[in-house]
Amino acid sequence: MSWSIRITLLYISFVALIVSLVIISSNNGEELVAKDYYAQELKYQERIDAMNNDAALPDGMSYSVNDKSIVFEAPESLANTTISGEIYFFSPAHSANDIKLPIHFFEGTQEVNKTVLQPGVYKVKIDYTANNKHYFHEGVVTIQ
């Protein structure tokens, strides 16, 4: 086999590789972390302040996972106040699995049934307000 045939085959295989990579990458879905990413980025200092407010509590927002549910517990230091906000289950794998739930504490706790969530890893983002002060708590939960 002559050098010209080898160079031609090498060039054709390289072009085929590039074309196949372009086709594969164009068929890949592009999901942003959030639809309003830039608006959230501009408000990130507020998020940092809210995280510091939660960390400053002697007993910040907490949650635990049992066999059937995820139990959220309000801070004892905010026991006699009205807490409003939302719990956001963010799935890094697929945005269709994201769920937002309003906070409704009954005697300091709120249960979320695990059946409302698809199996996978979730970032739990608890964004709440009490005594006109903004708080934010974040963690990770694995649903099986």
Phi, psi of 134 (to 5 degrees): -95, 135
Q: Is 56 exposed, middle or buried (0-12, 13-18, 19+ CB in 10 A)?
A: exposed
- pLDDT at residue 17 is higher than 70: yes
Global pTM value: 0.71
| pLDDT value at residue 1 | 76
| pLDDT value at residue 75 | 86
How far is 22 from 120, CA to CA, in rounded Å? 30
CB 48 within 8 A of CB 61: no
- Give residue limits of the domains in the chain: 1-30, 37-143
CA 61 to chain centre: 17
Residues 108-139 pLDDT 10s: 888 998 888 888 899 999 999 988 899 999 99
Residues 54-112 pLDDT 10s: 888 888 888 888 888 999 988 888 878 888 999 999 988 888 888 999 998 888 888 99
Residues 20-51 pLDDT 10s: 999 988 887 666 566 677 777 777 888 899 99
CATH for 37-143, options being 1.10.1200.10, 3.90.1570.30, 2.60.40.10, 3.40.50.1820: 2.60.40.10
| pLDDT value at residue 20 | 95
